[in-house]
Structure 1
């Protein structure tokens, strides 16, 4: 019974975490200060198809194409959360932006800055729930983890995970910018400065909820 309860908690945390993260991306979009590196690539590469494909559908197709590569290389990282992320993220991003844009039409600079700060907090909180639930990772997260596990080398130097992630973030931002999605301060914050906030929410919210307060 305890095991079943823990599984339900993990599933609830995953669903909530992915939904909160996706909603926060809608806030990043409305704030217009830049989005996280993978969203920069996904939204940028969607632009040529925006008249024929919704972002939600395009994101799902892009993630599925990446999932095939992951399945062939190391399917260990694929879990329930991978599919929840694949099917839900793009559509929630799309719907949340439409919803928020209907409420905040042409927000002024102070409102955009407040929205950016709120989005960073929500993204960190959602990420803490999603990571702590440990039911798998997104396709983008899996790629860096697989390359680190394969011990990618440059001039006989084995690249650690953090540098592989920095490189993959740089590639995503560069590709997104090439397609017309301009990065900004929000991109820099999400790429380099969210770690402490995620750790805080892990300690204060995600872990206590999963393990039980005080455990």
Structure 2
């Protein structure tokens, strides 16, 4: 019985289509996150927190992301097993390492040094706009493949069930602000200073969620048409 339930949860309808979509989305999120890191105008709240905590303790983003998500996954396992799927593990394990890998490539290719030159501000703005647009698109695609929720994203859903009278978007904003606060606190004792832009990450915390929802609705209506 348990095995049958797990099979239905992990191998959902249209799995053969959804799985490669999910994998490509995770790859895209890691690549575009690496560009956001290089531009240094801000990242999503989870990445801002993980980057600053990782830097404070001398870890790579990938390693810290695996450790942090492991703790969050325990809560998902206890309180929201229905949110767990293949996408949970791919997001948990892969995005940080993909971002680390491509950041190393950008440095070797000279993109990092190029973007840090003051006269290349316009290029940083262009790449930031490009990266944030496609980060949102790939995030929306990942979520709408419906093969599991990342441990970080599962926690506000769990909290929302506990305090259902509070609108979810308020819970999500407060949750993301807490993540940014943790990143800020870690940066205060970091000799290397803050990793990324605090203001940019706050703006993204307030905007990425609604934009992902809008893009996701459009994609479900026009692209990800899964008739259950």
Whole-Å separation in 2 of the counterparts to 1:73 and 1:203: 27
C-alpha contact (below 8 Å) 1:35/1:187 kept by paired residues? yes
Note the C-alpha offset of 1:185: 4.6
Secondary structure of 2:42 counterpart: coil
1:198 aligned to 212, 219, 227, which one?
Answer: 212
2:98 is aligned with 1:86: no
Note the C-alpha offset of 1:115: 1.4
C-alpha contact (below 8 Å) 2:180/2:202 kept by paired residues? no
Number of aligned residues = 203
Structure 2, unpaired ranges of 5+: 1-10, 188-193
Whole-Å separation in 2 of the counterparts to 1:6 and 1:129: 15
Q: What corresponds to 1:179 in structure 2? A: 186
C-alpha contact (below 8 Å) 1:28/1:186 kept by paired residues? no
Whole-Å separation in 2 of the counterparts to 1:177 and 1:147: 23
Q: What corresponds to 1:170 in structure 2? A: 177
Note the C-alpha offset of 1:62: 1.3
Q: What corresponds to 1:49 in structure 2? A: 57
Q: Normalising by the residue count of structure 1, what TM-score does the alignment of the two structures yield?
A: 0.84
Note the C-alpha offset of 1:171: 0.7
Note the C-alpha offset of 1:151: 1.8
Q: Normalising by the residue count of structure 2, what TM-score does the alignment of the two structures yield?
A: 0.80
Aligned pair in 2 of structure 1 residues 145, 196: CA closer, same or farther (>3 Å)? closer
Aligned pair in 2 of structure 1 residues 89, 8: CA closer, same or farther (>3 Å)? same
Note the C-alpha offset of 1:59: 1.1
Q: What corresponds to 2:3 in structure 1? A: none
Q: CA RMSD in A?
A: 2.3
Structure 1, unpaired ranges of 5+: 153-157
Q: What corresponds to 1:188 in structure 2? A: 202
Whole-Å separation in 2 of the counterparts to 1:90 and 1:64: 13
Aligned pair in 2 of structure 1 residues 98, 79: CA closer, same or farther (>3 Å)? same
Cα offsets for 1:15-41 (capped at 9, x unmatched): 111111121111111001111111111
1:149 aligned to 157, 161, 165, which one?
Answer: 161
Whole-Å separation in 2 of the counterparts to 1:123 and 1:132: 14
Whole-Å separation in 2 of the counterparts to 1:4 and 1:63: 23
Whole-Å separation in 2 of the counterparts to 1:57 and 1:161: 30
Q: 4+ residue runs of structure 1 moved beyond 4 angstroms? A: 203-207
Whole-Å separation in 1 of the counterparts to 2:123 and 2:86: 36
Q: What corresponds to 1:129 in structure 2? A: 141
Cα offsets for 1:114-145 (capped at 9, x unmatched): 11101111111101210110111111110000
